[in-house]
Structures are given as C-alpha cells and as structure tokens.
Amino acid sequence: MKRLNLPSDTKIPFMRYRVPALIGSVIACILSLALFALVGMNYGIDFQGGTMVELRFEEPRPIADIRQEVGNLGLGDVQIVEFGEPTDVLIRVEEQPGGEEAQQLAVIQLRELYANDAEFRRVEVVGPRVSGELAQAGLIAVVTALLAIMIYIWLRFEWHFAIGAVLCTLHDVVLTIGLYSATQLDFNLTSIAAVLTIVGYSLNDTVVVYDRVRENLRRYKRLPMSELIDLSVNQMLSRTLMTSITTLLALAALFVFGGEVIRSFTFAMIWGIVVGTYSSIFIAAPLLITLNLRPGRAPGGGTGDGDDEAAAGDAEPSAA
Amino acid sequence: MLHFPRWQSVLIVLAVILGVAAVIPNLVPRSWVAALPSWLPKERIVLGLDLQGGAYLLYQVDQEDYIQSRLRTVTNDVRETLLQAPRIGYTGLGVVDNGVEVRIRDNTRIDEAAQRLSQLRNPLGQGVFSQGGVNEFAFTQGDNGLMRLSFTEEGLAQRIRSIVDQSIEVVRRRVDELGTTEPNIQRQGEDRILVEAPGGDPEQLKSLVGTTAQLTFHLVDTSVNPNSILERGRAPAGKMLLMTSEENEYEPGVPYVVDEAPLITGEDLTDAQPAFEQQTNEPVVTFQMTTSGARRFCDVTTREAAARTPFAIVLDDEVVSAPSIREPICGGAGQISGSFSVQSANDLAILLRAGALPAALTLVEERTVGPGLGADSIAAGETAAIVAAVLVAGSMVLVYGLFGVIANIALVVNIVLIMGLLSLLGATLTLPGIAGIVLTMGMAVDANVLIYERIREEGRAGRSPILAIDAGFSRAFATILDANVTTLIAAVILFQLGSGPVRGFAVTLAIGVLTTIFTAFLFTRLMVAMWVRRRRPTEVPV
C-alpha cells in the first residue's frame, strides 16, 4: 500500500507573518467582541429560562400554520424552526412572567394544542430560579478551568509560556463567542461544554508546540528567537496537521451523522479546532517573542540558568 | 524504553483483558450476565435519559408554603394551650410575618400565659453534629400582654433540611410504586430534589411527584351557610372554608365550612387501594386505618351518626367528597369516592400509600425526552462513532503503514477501555458523552502521532532504527503528558462545576485522557517492542 507522506523538513517562515497574523487576530477578536456587545448571543433556555419543545408531526406541517396556532396562545416571543426531518419542529417559548407555575402552564397549553397530531419528543422547561444559576455556573467553569490550566503550565514551564498559552486560549474563546454571535446558534449548556473542549484542544496544541520550543531553547542556545520558533513549528507541523485532520474527520462524522441535537455543538467544535490549530502556530508561538522569553540572548548567549536545568530534568524522565 | 520486564507485559495484557471483560456485560443479554461467575464484572453502562428517554425533574421545596402551614398548626397549638384549664382569655390570635401573635386579655395572668406559651418553643432533636438544643421558635413578649412565637433562623434551616430528607423518602416511595426501573432521586444543594426516571410517562410522573397529597377528614359545620361565609371571605375561628375542585368555568367549586382540626390525617392510614364501587361500578379508593385512627373515627362517627353530619374528605385543601355519616364506622376501613377515573383512583391510592409531602414542591427545571428521540440519538451516535473510527483508522494506515495498524489496535483497545471503565464506574453515557468518545478517537491518535513523528525525526537525524524508536518514545513522553494533563484539568473542572450534558461529556473526556495515556505509554510501546524484538528492523519503519 502506498503511503501518504506528510510534509517533513518544511522550512516555512511562519514568523515572517507574525505581525500580520497578530493584527488579523486582534481585529477578529475586536469584531467578535463588538458582535457580542451589539448583536449579542442567542442564549438558549438554559440561561434565559423558558420552554423548548421538540415535536414530530405525523405529516409535515407548514411552519407558518404552526406559528399562527402557537401565536394565538399569547405566550409572547415564540421561535419556531424546522429541526432535521421535515416533520420535526422545534418550538421555543420565552420565559413566562409569573414564576415556575407559569412555565408549566405554557407546556400544558402546547400539549393541549398538539397532543393529538404530534409526538412530544423533547420537552425542556427551565424556570427563572434555575436559569441564572446555570449561567453563573457555566461562567465559573470556564474561568476556573483557564486559571487551573495556567497554574499547571506555570509550574511545568516558565511564566511566559503560561501567559502565552492563556492569551492564545482567550483568543480562541473570544473567536468562538464571535461565531455564536455571528451565526446566532443557540448558546446553551452544551455550548459551554463545546467552549471548554476547544479550550482543552487548543491548549493541547499549544503545549505541544511550546514543548518543542523549550527543548530547542536548550539545544540551540545561539539561535535568534524567531528562527528558533520557526524551526520548532516546522518540526511539529506534520504532527499538528495529522492530529487536526484526524480530529476534524471524527468531528465531521459527528456533524453529519450525530443527529440534530448535537449539530450546533459539533459545528462550534469544528470551528474551535481550526481556530485552535491556527492560534497555536500564529499566536501562541509569536507571543513568546512578544513576551520577551529570551531577553539579551543574542549571539553568544546560553547562560544555562536554573530554569533550563529544571526543565531539562522534566523533559526526559528517567523513570519511564 | 523498549525493554519490558515480563511482569510488566503481563500486567498490561491483564489490564486490557479486564477492560474487555468489563465491556462484555453490555454486549450480551441480561439473562446471560446473571449467569456469569460471580468474580466477573457485571455492571453495565447506564444510558442517560437523553438516550433511553425519560424525565429529569428538579424540584425545590417551597419554604413559604411550609412556613405558612407550620404557623397554622402553631396557631392551633397556641389556642389549645390557652384554652387548657384554667383557660386564659386572649384576643387577636393570628399569623404575623414569620410568627404567631396573640394578646392576653387578663393582665394578671400574663406570667402564667408566658410560662405556658414558652413551652411551645419546641427544641429540635439534636443531630449528631449540632451541639446544644436549637429551638424551632423564639418566644418574645411585648407590651399589653402581646406574645409572639417566631421561627429562629437555625430552627428553620434544620427544619428545611429534614423536610428535604423526608420529601426524598416520600418521592422515592411514590416513584417506586409507579414501577419505574432505576430511578435516581437525590438531594441537590440546600433545598432541592432531583428526580431522574428513565422511560415511563413523564406527565404521570410529574403529577405524582408534584402533589403534596395531604389527606385529611374534617367534620362539616352545618350550622352556618357556606355561601355567606364565602361572601364574607372569612371563616369563624377554628373553622375553615374549603371548595371542591372547579370542573370548569360553568361548574365552579362548591364551598364547605369545616372544622380546622382534622378528624383523621393521612398518617392514620395504613393502606390504600384502587377499587370499584359495587353498585355503580365507579372507581373508588379503599383504605385501611391504623388502630388509633380507627378508634377515633369510630368514636366520632358513633357520636355524629344520629345527626347525619357530613364529613369532608380533603386532599390538598380541596374537598374530594363530603359523604354524610349514616352509621358508626368502626371496622377501620373506608372508601373515598369522587369523580375518579381509573387512572386518577390508582394515582390517589399510590399517593396515599406513599404518604404526604411535608411541604409543597415547586418544579424549577424539567427535561423530558421521548423514547423515540432517545433511540434515534443512539442510532445517530453509533453511526457517527463507526464512521469516525473508519475515517481515523484509514488515515492512520494511509500515513504510517504498519505502525498505523498498531495505532489502530491501540485505538480499539482505547475505546474498549473507555467502555470498560464507564461500565465499572457505573457511569452514565449521554449523547454529549458519545460526542466525547468520538472526539477522543480523533485526539487519541495524537499520542501515537507524536511518537511516530518523533521516531521519524530521530531516524532522519541518523540514529539506528532501534535507537530511533527508543528515543521517539522517551522524548514524546513529556509532551504527551503535558498535553493530556491540561485536557484532564479541563475535564475535571467541567465535571465538578457542570451539570447535565456538561457532566456527561466531561466523564468520557476524562476517562478518554486516562486510557489514552495508558495505551500510548504501555500498550503501543509493548506492541512496538514485541515487533522490534522479532523483526530486528534495519531501517526506521514509519
């Protein structure tokens, strides 16, 4: 069988593009934040409260009819979208004024309306007491995860790496928020899981590149920083591509065959993998230069300070 | 790196075999699992509600409802205490804010009244951890004989805790009566109860769990006209106005004025069953009373039979029916008729058997998934997993050849171990969990890719094949560890702070990271080592 050869021994001058890449990323981040501030996200019922019902009708029904019928119930803002099959419909009703019982009343009204000609495949009701807590818990989860990871990298590497990794991860999170704002995909609890996975993946990628940078820092003590990073990224390029491609293949399978319920979740992750791969090369690595990781180590450097020694001990564990 | 002592190889293979053994119960029929020898693992992966259909209901104990009903009882207690011989005159007895107030009319007997009422502070039983007694109520005295019993903060907190415990018990009995298999009922936070029940009719479950089911029998006061009381809106002291349920807007409820103190409460019942009234063939609920309940009922019915006083059967403040007492009822058995359907008679019997909730429960979050959607989700998840596995495995072989095959065997072992660990832990597999496994498949090859790419590099740097392989493994080790530990941190935090779908995803992600580290460091390395020993390669094989 003929093997497919991954590019090896590449000499792509990534760092030559670092200024345009950084500028591009900053613009993209600002755009994302602007979208978030001006348009906002389409928060699902997890965070806003309300009722969501997935119905399967016996035969396809025009959305306009359903909109008319549900509209007559006077439930305020109602969103009705087709969901996968032509017979399937997702109805989202905003949080009803009047506390928990009022939400239940909305479901009862919907049931009375459609109990005879549709299967209620999914009913979700999040009351006002819980929705605020869920949003808070989600935010705490993201922030805590970032902090914990930063501390881990700080312990294992030098502080430049920790800051670089977290900035790069924030970049990915901001762009993901931008994606949710731009596409108005439902942002719910599952989206929080997607964001955290993107965080995990992006860090995974960043750490792998950083690991090689650290190793090369010890090996090539005279090499200018930008060349050293180019070398490291090129050395890891085939791995980065291979891993991104297999992960994207797996996610593509999930996107196409995994069902409507997790489609937006998978979509966000695919975006996250692409952004995460880009950012580990074009953001995380150059940030090390910006953060002045090796100051004053021009030609003739290589003082071999304590940090390097400690790191060397980590890189080749004798116990393994 | 490539040398494995025999005991290490044996342990690695044993771990894999254990993983396979742990997966087996999921693949064979349940009856076979029961027949397996006892030392084999028998746990199956629990399918989440999103995969098998079912209901996730989060209830909150209605503190306000409890406080109000508790204060009503205390009001009665205060009245009875003051009426004890010798009786003390009082006025203005009622609930004010979170306490009960009363004014003593006779100034000379204020001390005596204070002495009697302070008995009602009700020290709560000391738990294992609480030192010293906590009074449920604080007793305070104002001017002009004003006296007040109000909830103490600690007393209320302790009460709420025990109410949640009690409610969990009642809910569990009710759900068990419904015949739901493997329901999960647990406390969540201070005052919440989570009910997860797979399958079944979510509407029936909701109506059963959410009903307080406070059953009481009261004598009806026939001396007053209930309609005039309804107009005035206020019942005389010691009496209360109750309505039958409203059928619809044309048939409004019928008012009854009844004694506030009940004859019999749900606690006096020992059993309740749905049945049919023999003459009319209407569904009814029959019940048995405890000995003391039966004696009390016998006394009252004997006394009232001549007057043909009706008594009201009241469920959650609504009159179900109000039959007249025609003859003494002393057998300790009775029946409740009303306009029941077979279903509602059955539900009421379940509620009476399981007992009443100490306080009303408010449904604050509800997620139900129909069995149809669950089955669709499983099918979709399986298809996605298979397609993902084929794509990932294919690209590995395409790029790495023989070592790609080794990576694929490792991938299969990895998935088996994830499934095995999920089974052993009795973890719940949800749809986001399947997504986590599929994602792990994509990322699991990362460890192998890192190793193989490293071997290639070392080979290009001029090392001999065996040295290159050895260095490839040892150099990739630190990278893989760092990369996976960061993901593990994210997964653990997701699990700790997340709920529902986030948790399901975090579990498989965390397990996936652990099994990935195992397969990359031990299993893949062992396979490569065995291959190297047999083949003695002369060129770098990847």
B368 CB within 8 Å of a chain A CB: yes
> A83 vs chain B: nearest CA distance in angstroms?
12
The Cα of A281 is separated from the nearest Cα of chain B by a number of Å equal to 15
Cβ distance of B478 and A316 shorter than 8 Å: yes
Q: Which of chain A's residues have a Cβ under 8 Å away from the Cβ of B539?
A: none
- Closest residue in chain B to residue A201, using alpha carbons only: B487
Question: Which residue from B304, B307, B315, B309 is spatially nearest to B338, judged by alpha carbons?
Answer: B315
Q: Pairing state of beta strands B333-336 and B318-321?
A: unpaired
Nearest to B441 among A126, A200, A250 (CB): A250
**Rounded Cα–Cα distance for residues B254 and B262 (Å):** 19
Using alpha carbons only, what angle is made at residue B143 by residues B140 and B144, rounded to the nearest 5 degrees? Answer: 120
| Cross-chain Cβ contact B431/A259 below 8 Å | yes
**Is the pLDDT confidence value at A315 over 60?**
no
Task: For residue A199, give the nearest of B494, B518, B511, B442 by alpha carbon.
Answer: B494
What pLDDT was estimated at residue A298? 44
DSSP conformational letter for A40: -
Q: What percent of chain B has pLDDT over 70?
A: 97
Q: Does B498 touch chain A (CB under 8 A)?
A: yes
Is B365 within 8 Å of A125 (Cβ atoms)? yes
pLDDT tens digits for A156-201? 888 889 899 989 999 999 999 999 999 998 898 888 888 878 888 8
Give the whole-angstrom CA distance, residue A123 versus residue B372. Answer: 13
Would you say B432 and B504 are in contact if contact means Cβ atoms under 8 Å apart? yes
- Whose CA is closest to B479, among A9, A219, A278, A236? A236
Q: pLDDT by residue (tens digit) across B488-525?
A: 888 888 888 777 777 888 888 899 989 998 998 899 99
In angstroms, the CA A67 to CA A45 distance is 19
Query: Residue B86: is the preceding peptide bond cis (ω within 30°)?
Result: yes
Q: Which are the contacts of B501, defined by CB distance < 8 A and separation ≥ 6?
A: A189, A190, A193, B50, B430, B431, B432
Give the integer Cα–Cα distance in Å for B132 and B125.
9
B138 - beta bridge partners? B150
Contact A211 B499 (CB under 8 A): no
d(CA A247, CA B439): 7
Judge contact between A312 and A318, C-beta under 8 A.
no
Chain A residues in contact with B500 (beta carbon < 8 A): 189
Cα distance from A262 to chain B (closest Cα, Å)? 7
B453 and chain A in contact, CB less than 8 A? yes
User: Which band of pLDDT confidence, cut at 50, 70 and 90, is reported for residue B366?
Assistant: very high
Residue B441 has pLDDT above 90, yes or no: no
pLDDT digit string, tens, across residues B178-196: 877 778 899 988 889 999 8
Q: What are the counts of helices (DSSP H) followed by strands (DSSP E) for chain B? A: 16, 21
Contacts by residues B291-298 (CB-CB < 8 Å, ≥ 24 positions apart): B291/B332, B292/B268, B293/B264, B293/B268, B293/B269, B293/B332, B294/B330, B294/B331, B294/B332, B296/B263, B296/B264, B296/B268, B297/B217, B297/B263, B297/B264, B297/B268, B297/B329, B297/B330, B297/B332, B297/B334, B298/B328, B298/B329, B298/B330
Verify whether the Cβ–Cβ distance B372 to A1 is below 8 Å. no
Q: Which residue of A has its CA nearest to B461?
A: A9
Interface mutation target, options B365, B408, B418, B539, chain A, most CBs of A under 10 Å: B365
User: Which tokens is A229 given?
Assistant: 């990073």
Half-sphere exposure of B425 (CA within 13 A, CB side): 14
DSSP B126: P
Which range among B53-62, B174-183, B344-353 has the greatest average pLDDT?
B53-62
For residue A151, give the chain B residue with the closest CA: B486
Within 8 A of A127 by CB-CB distance, chain B residues are 362-365
Query: Is A299 a residue whose pLDDT tops 60?
Result: no
Q: Which tokens belong to B330?
A: 């002393």
Confidence of residue B47 (pLDDT cuts 50, 70, 90): confident
Sheet holding B269-276, edge to edge: B269-276, B283-289, B333-336
E strand intervals along chain A: 42-43, 50-57, 78-83, 85-94, 118-126, 186-187
pLDDT of residue B126: 57
| Interface contact flag, A199 B388, Cβ < 8 Å | no
CB count within 10 Å of CB A28 equals 15
Distance from CA of A301 to the nearest CA of B (A): 25
Interchain pair B486, A211: CB under 8 A: no
Residue A186 near residue A47 (C-beta atoms within 8 A):
no
Identify the top-confidence range among A45-59, B35-49, B169-183.
A45-59
Interface of B with A in 312-341 (CB under 8 A): none
Chain A contact for B432 (CB, 8 A cutoff) = yes
Strands of B15-168 (E only): list them.
46-47, 54-61, 90-96, 99-104, 123-124, 134-135, 137-141, 146-151
* Greatest Cα pair distance in chain A: 83
Q: Three-state secondary structure along B294-329?
A: HHHHHHHHHHHCCCCCEEEEEECCEEEECCECCCCC
Note every long-range contact of B125-132, with CB atoms under 8 Å and residues 24 or more positions apart, other chains counting. B127/B158, B130/B158
A24-38, B43-57, B150-164, range with greatest mean pLDDT: A24-38
Mutate to test the interface with A, among B479, B496, B517 (most CBs of A within 10 A): B479
Determine whether the interchain pair A193/B369 forms a contact, defined as Cβ–Cβ distance below 8 Å.
no
Residue numbers in A near B502 (CB within 8 A) = 138, 141, 189-190, 192-193, 196
Distance between CA atoms of B303 and B295, rounded to whole angstroms? 12
Report pLDDT for A2.
Answer: 59
CB contact B478 to A (< 8 Å)? yes
Contacts 24+ apart (CB under 8 A), B292-297: B292/B268, B293/B264, B293/B268, B293/B269, B293/B332, B294/B330, B294/B331, B294/B332, B296/B263, B296/B264, B296/B268, B297/B217, B297/B263, B297/B264, B297/B268, B297/B329, B297/B330, B297/B332, B297/B334
- State the DSSP H helix or E strand holding residue B222, giving kind and residue range, or none if neither: none
Chain B residue whose CA is closest to A138: B498
Pairing of the two strands B46-47 and B184-188: unpaired
For residue B183, the model assigns a pLDDT of 86
- Residue range B269-287, pLDDT digits in tens: 888 889 888 888 889 898 8
Q: Is the ipTM of this complex over 0.90?
A: no
| Residue B59 CA: distances (Å) to CA of A100, B90, B203 | 10, 41, 15
Residue B146 forms contact with A (CB below 8 Å): no
Compute the average pLDDT of residues B282-308.
88
The beta-carbon neighbor of B486 closest among A144, A203, A245 is: A203
For residue A41, the distance in angstroms to the closest alpha carbon of chain B comes to: 19
Among residues A22, A15, A20, the alpha carbon closest in space to that of A227 is found at A15
Where does the pLDDT of residue A30 fall: very low under 50, low under 70, confident under 90, or very high at 90 and above? very high
Average pLDDT value for residue range B20-31? 85
What are the residue ranges of helices labelled H in B213-341?
226-232, 291-304
- The pTM score is 0.79
Q: Which of B391, B401, B460 sits opposite A250 (nearest CB)?
A: B391
Q: Which two tokens stand for residue B61?
A: 């104990």
pLDDT tens profile B90-141: 888 888 888 999 998 888 888 888 888 888 888 876 555 555 578 889 898 8
Return the structure tokens found at B122.
């009700």
Say yes or no for a CB contact (<8 Å) between A152 and B485: yes
Using CA atoms, how far apart are residues B235 and A294, in angstroms rounded to an integer?
A: 86
State whether B487 and A203 contact (CB < 8 Å): yes
Cα of A295 to nearest chain B Cα, Å: 25
Q: Contact B442/A256, CB-based, under 8 Å?
A: no
pLDDT tens profile B446-464: 899 999 999 999 998 889 9
Residue type, B176: D
pLDDT of res. A257: 92
* Cross-chain Cβ contact B460/A256 below 8 Å: no
| Per-residue confidence (pLDDT) for residue B125, from 0 to 100 | 66
Q: Is B282 on the interface with A (CB under 8 A)?
A: no
What one-letter code names the amino acid at B340?
A: F
Which residues are bridge partners to B187 per DSSP? B193
> Number of residue pairs across A and B with CB atoms under 8 Å?
250
Cross-chain CB nearest to A200 (options B432, B449, B490): B490
CA atoms within 13 A on the CB side of B314: 28
Top mean-pLDDT range of B227-231, B339-343, B391-395:
B391-395
Element (H, E) at B194: strand B192-198
* Tokens describing residue B154: 């600690």
Terminal alpha carbon distance of chain B: 18
Interface test with A, best of B364, B398, B415, B499 (most A CBs within 10 A): B364
DSSP bridge pairs for B334: B287
The whole-angstrom separation of Cα B374 and Cα B354 is: 30
The mean pLDDT value of chain A amounts to 85
Burial category of A154 from C-beta neighbours within 10 Å (exposed 0-12, middle 13-18, buried 19 and up): middle
B482 — contact with chain A (CB < 8 Å)?
yes
Q: How far apart are CA B271 and CA B422, in angstroms?
A: 41
Joined together, the tokens standing for residue A271 give 């975006």
The answer to whether the CB of B312 falls within 8 A of the CB of B339 is no
Round to whole Å and give the CA distance between B459 and B394.
24
Q: How confident is the model at residue A56 (pLDDT cuts 50, 70, 90)?
A: very high
What's the burial of B292, exposed, middle or buried (CB within 10 Å: 0-12/13-18/19+)? exposed
Q: Would you state the pLDDT for residue A296?
A: 52
Q: Is B486 in contact with A207 (CB distance < 8 Å)?
A: yes
C-alpha span between B159 and B67 (Å, rounded): 10
Whether residue B396 lies within 8 A of chain A, CB to CB, comes out as yes
Range scoring the smallest mean pLDDT among B44-48, B53-57, B471-475: B44-48
Burial B457-483 (b: 16+ CB within 10 A, else e): bbbeeebebeebbbbbbbbbbbbbbbb
Res. B85: pLDDT tops 90: no
Measured CA to CA, the distance from residue B255 to residue B474 in angstroms comes to 84
Are B255 and B229 a contacting pair, CB within 8 Å? yes
